Structure 1
Amino acid sequence: MKPLTDRQQEILNFIERSLLQDGFPPTIAEIADAFGVRSTNSIRGHLQALARKGAIELVPAASRGIRLLKPTPDLDQGLPLVGRVAAGQPILAEEHIERYCRLGPELFDNRADYLLRVQGMSMRDAGILDGDLLAVQRTPEARNGQIVIARIQDEATVKRLRLDSKTRMAFLEPANLDFAIIEVDLQREPLVIEGVVVGVIRSGL
C-alpha cells in the first residue's frame, strides 16, 4: 500500500474503528461529522485517494460502500503485535505486524487495539522498558498527562503528552532525564496521535 497522508490515515483509522465497534463501515456523512467537516466533498476526495492507494475499495451506489482491502484484525484472533515502525508508514502496516497475541480483555481497564514493542529506555521511570509490550487503544485524541503513541516528523514515539492551550504548544515528555522533551508548535506542524497506552506487558511474549 502506498504511504498515506496524516488525514488519510486518520480517516482509515476511523473506518477501522467503526468496523470493529459497529460491525459496518461509516457513511460519508458520519465521517464528515466525526472530523468536524461541513462539506462531504473533501471526505469523498480523501476516500478516493485511499482507494487509489489500495487501502479501501469504494462500492458504487451504497450508503456504506467502503470495503477495507486489508481486513481489520478480528479481536477474537488476537491483538496484532507491532515491531519496528518505519518512518512515514502507518503503525499497523502489514509489514510491521510480527504476529497476533491472544490476551484476555480483563488484562486492561480500557479496550486495547494492538500491542507495540517498545524500543529504547526513554520511558524507563514510568515503568516502560526496552522490549516491553504496550497495549494501545487507537484514538486520534488524548488528554493532558496520558502516555501516547505520537507521530512527529514521520517518526512514531512513546511519550507523555502535555498540552498548553494558551501557546498552542504540545510537549512530548520522556520519563528519563537522559532524554530531551520534544516540543511541537501546533500552529506550524501537525502532531498525530496514533493511540493512548492502556497497559504494559513485561517482555517475554
Structure 2
Amino acid sequence: MPTSPPRSPRRIRDADGLTPRQREVLDFLRRWGREHGAPPTRQEIARAFGFRSPNAAEAHLRALQRKGMLELRDGSARGIRLRGAEPAELLQLPLVGRVAAGSPILAQEHVEAVYPADARWFARRPDYLLRVRGWSMRDAGIHDGDLVAVQAMCEARVGQIVVARLGDDVTIKRLQRDGAGWRLQAANPDFPDLVVAPGEPLTIEGVVVGLLRPHGWD
C-alpha cells in the first residue's frame, strides 16, 4: 500500500511564535537581568550560547524584537528592554567617585554625575552608584571601572557584598565572620582579605544590589 512521502521537518514554534532557540535566548535575558541587574551584551549572549560571533546573538535579538518580545536601543551595548514587564520606574542615581577620608559617601563633592536607571535592573532599590577602583572583587564579576549600585544601610548579613569603611578608607568586599571579629573577603587571590579585630572601627555604608558597566550608557 503506497504511503505518503515524508514531510520536510519544520521548526517547532511556541504558541507565541518563538522557536525553541528564541525561547532559550529570551529566558536567558530574563535570568541575566535578575542576577546582574542589567541586560547582557551581545558578546555575553554569544559566549553563553557558544555562538561564533556576537552577530548571531544580534540576529536572535532582532528576531525577538520583530515578534514583540523586546525593544532594542541602537548604539547601546546593553540597550535591551524586555516587554511585558512592570512599567519602568526611572531612578536618578548619584554616581560617587573617589571618597575623601572621613567624609560621608554622598557628600556633594564626591558626586560626579547623576544617572537615570530603571529600577527593574536591580535586586533591591539602590540609593547611589559607586565607581569601583581596582580588581580585588574580580571573581565576583566586579571589575575596575564598574559602577556598583548600593542600597544605603548600616547593617548587612554575612556573605553579602558590602561597601565598608575602615577608618578613612572605603572598600567593596564580601562580609564574613572571623571569630569574634569580621573579615572583608576579596574575590581575587592576588588581594588579601581585610581582617577587622573586635573593637576595631568598621562601618557598613551599604549593600551592593546591582552592577552596571559604563558602556551601558554609550
Shared fold (TM-score, shorter chain, > 0.5):
yes
Structure 1 gaps of 5+ residues are 1-74
TM-aligned CA deviation for residue 202 of structure 1? 1.5
**1:185 corresponds to which of 192, 197, 200:** 197
Query: Is the alpha carbon distance of 1:106 and 1:200 closer, same or farther for their aligned partners in structure 2, counting shifts above 3 Å?
Result: same
Instruction: After TM superposition, list the pairs within 5 Å mapping 1:55-74 onto structure 2.
Output: none
- Give the structure 2 partner of residue 70 of structure 1: none
**1:150 corresponds to which of 152, 159, 164:** 164
Q: Does 1:203 align with 2:217?
A: no
The residue matched to 1:103 in structure 2 has which SS?
strand
Query: Is the alpha carbon distance of 1:103 and 1:170 closer, same or farther for their aligned partners in structure 2, counting shifts above 3 Å?
Result: same
TM-score (norm 2): 0.56
How far apart are the structure 2 equivalents of 1:142 and 1:126?
18
Q: Does 1:110 align with 2:127?
A: no
**2:140 corresponds to which of 113, 126, 141:** 126
Larger radius of gyration: 2
**1:91 corresponds to which of 97, 102, 105:** 105
Q: Does 1:172 align with 2:184?
A: yes
Percent of residue pairs identical: 56
TM-aligned CA deviation for residue 156 of structure 1? 0.4
Asked if the contact 1:120–1:129 (Cα under 8 Å) also holds between the matched residues in 2, the reply is: yes
Deviation string, structure 1 residues 68-123 (Cα, Å, up to 9, x no partner)? xxxxxxx9660100011112111111000011111111111201000001000000
Structure 2 gaps of 5+ residues are 1-88
Asked if the contact 1:77–1:100 (Cα under 8 Å) also holds between the matched residues in 2, the reply is: no
TM-score (norm 1): 0.60
Q: Does 1:163 align with 2:174?
A: no
- Give the structure 1 partner of residue 59 of structure 2: none
How far apart are the structure 1 equivalents of 2:110 and 2:129?
11
How far apart are the structure 1 equivalents of 2:127 and 2:177?
25
How far apart are the structure 2 equivalents of 1:162 and 1:77?
31
The residue matched to 1:157 in structure 2 has which SS?
strand
TM-aligned CA deviation for residue 203 of structure 1? 2.5
Asked if the contact 2:180–2:197 (Cα under 8 Å) also holds between the matched residues in 1, the reply is: yes
- What amino acid is aligned across from residue 157 of structure 1 in structure 2? T
How far apart are the structure 1 equivalents of 2:108 and 2:121?
25
What count of residue pairs does the alignment treat as equivalent?
128
TM-aligned CA deviation for residue 180 of structure 1? 0.5
- Give the structure 1 partner of residue 70 of structure 2: none
